[in-house]
Amino acid sequence: MRIRSDKEVGARIAALLGDRPQKELADAVAMQPSVLSRALAGGRAFNMSELIDIADYLGVRVEELLFDEQAAFVKRGVAEDAATSAAVDRCSRLIDAMLHIEAVGR
């Protein structure tokens, strides 16, 4: 698993954004359109709070923006019961928090 560069993260977000306007994303995540444009081009790094908001908007996990591929333990599947689903959700939040701590430390 490799961490994407700032430019690669921007390109990944742009690809996931597809035909939706950048202004729509900027408004949804409370970023100035010019700041978003610069970050999508790799000229500015996204902070973790922005990445979390963008991932929520795009309907993906933060690690899908940050990493080339997900480790097997990060991949989510369909749980067969509520207890398993709750456990997977708790683990997912823990992983997201750990990624946040790691990214802040970079």
The model scores a pTM over 0.85: no
Closest CA to 43 of 93, 4, 9: 9
Could you tell me the two tokens for 19?
Answer: 């035909």
How much is the CA Rg of the chain, to the nearest whole Å?
15
Q: Under 8 Å CB-to-CB from 31, ≥6 apart: which residues?
A: 25, 39, 50
pLDDT attached to residue 88: 72
Q: Which pLDDT belongs to residue 15?
A: 96
- CATH 1.10.10.10 assigned to domain 6-104? The reply is no
Res 2: pLDDT: 83
Note the pLDDT of residue 26: 97
pLDDT of residue 3: 87
Q: What is the pLDDT of residue 77?
A: 56
CB 27 within 8 A of CB 41: no
pLDDT along the chain (106 residues), means of 10: 89 96 96 97 93 94 84 54 73 76 65
Contact 92, 61 (CB under 8 A): yes
Q: What is the pLDDT of residue 8?
A: 94
